[in-house]
Amino acid sequence: MTGPLRVPDSFRAMPRWWHEGEAWLDGLPALVAVCCEQWQLAIDGDPWHGSNALVVPVTRQGVAFALRLNPPGPDVVATERALRFWQGHGVVDLIETELARGALLLQRLDGSRTLGHEPLAEAMPILGALGRRLAIPAPDDVRSTNEIVRAECEAMPAAWERLGRPFSRATLDAVLALAPTLLTDSTLAVNGDLHGAQVLREPEGDWVVVDPVLLRGDPAYDLARMLWTRLDEIADGDEIHHWLDVVADAAGIDRDHARNWVLFRTTSYWLWGLAHGLTEDPVRCGRLIGAIGA
């Protein structure tokens, strides 16, 4: 690649930037140039991206890396901490950091495809197994899944009213009644954003997580996301039950406990999505809740 970096239009169009961040996006070419000078990098191709970060392929002395850029702030600090914590346990290798610029230099992975592009029969067992691999003893000071459950139990009834009662009160009450079953004494690490789009392949063929969110508590916390992010590819309720069984088994989690977490997290996300103007994901949430029952 020659000349200044061009920020992809598809990145600018992400919901993350609908209300803020235009100045940061406009400054990305200059920021990449500064990072390349500081770390002696050369741009090695066109950038790719997720919803929140731009990733630029770079080289240094013939070795391939990936320069990841986020707006500076708590999110990138948390990502850097999570990557350092899980280094060697199923996440991308962290090489250099410049948190004041929101810059992370990472191991180069295959950015052309994610686990989210792989067939369900391959992706679902890998996601469950990755969750199990990440479940190592966690730091005491990170947010716990218990805290999240308690906060959601407080917030969901008011959100349900405010958003026009988008589903039945019976469904809401049934989901809230599951909360005691989700509280745990576990001190294991949990990735709070585990789904196929966040998993890329290493050159040697292993799948690794690229954007983990470090939590502490119940490893079943994010099984719901594995399902709702692929729900359009799942034909009917029987198949939804099948893939729930697959990911729960691969993660080493009791199936009924997994179902309870999926119901709780999906209901929470349904309300969050409506509050943030999403139109497609709330429909998916409704379909998932309807299939496995609340």
Q: In the prediction, which pLDDT does 188 show?
A: 97
- 281 has catalytic annotation: no
Least confident of 5-14, 150-159, 167-176: 5-14
Do the first three CATH levels of 9-107 and 115-292 match, i.e. the same topology? Answer: no
What pLDDT digit, counting tens, does each position of 41-60 carry? 999 888 988 788 899 999 99
Question: How confident is the prediction for the chain on average, in pLDDT?
Answer: 94
Given 193, 206, 236, 254, which residue is catalytic? 193
Q: Mind listing the pLDDT tens digit for each residue in 221-243?
A: 999 999 999 999 999 999 999 99
Tell me which CATH homologous superfamily contains domain 115-292.
Answer: Aminoglycoside phosphotransferase (APH), C-terminal lobe (3.90.1200.10)
Confidence of residue 3 (pLDDT cuts 50, 70, 90): low
Q: Mean pLDDT, to the nearest integer, of 141-163?
A: 97
Instruction: For residue range 193-204, list pLDDT tens digits in order.
Output: 999 999 999 988
Under the banding of pLDDT at 50, 70 and 90, the label for residue 21 is confident
Which one has a higher pLDDT value, 294 or 287?
287
**Taking 80 as the threshold, does the pLDDT of residue 119 lie above it?**
yes
- At the fourth CATH level, which superfamily is domain 9-107? Phosphorylase Kinase; domain 1 (3.30.200.20)
For residues 67-78, give the mean pLDDT.
Answer: 93
The pLDDT of residue 67 is 96
Is this structure's pTM higher than 0.85? Answer: yes
When pLDDT is cut at 50, 70 and 90, the band that residue 132 belongs to is very high
pLDDT for res 182: 98
Please give the average per-residue pLDDT across 127-139, as a whole number.
Answer: 97
Residue 220 has pLDDT above 80, yes or no: yes
Q: Where are the domains of the chain?
A: 9-107, 115-292
Assess whether pLDDT exceeds 60 at residue 1.
no
Residue 189: the pLDDT is 97
Cβ of 259: how many Cβ atoms within 10 Å? 21
Q: Which of 13-17, 170-174, 240-244 has the lowest average pLDDT?
A: 13-17
Query: What's the mean pLDDT in 117-141?
Result: 96
Q: CA nearest 167: which of 259, 277, 287, 276?
A: 287
Q: Is the pLDDT of residue 2 over 60?
A: no
**Is residue 209's pLDDT more than 70?**
yes
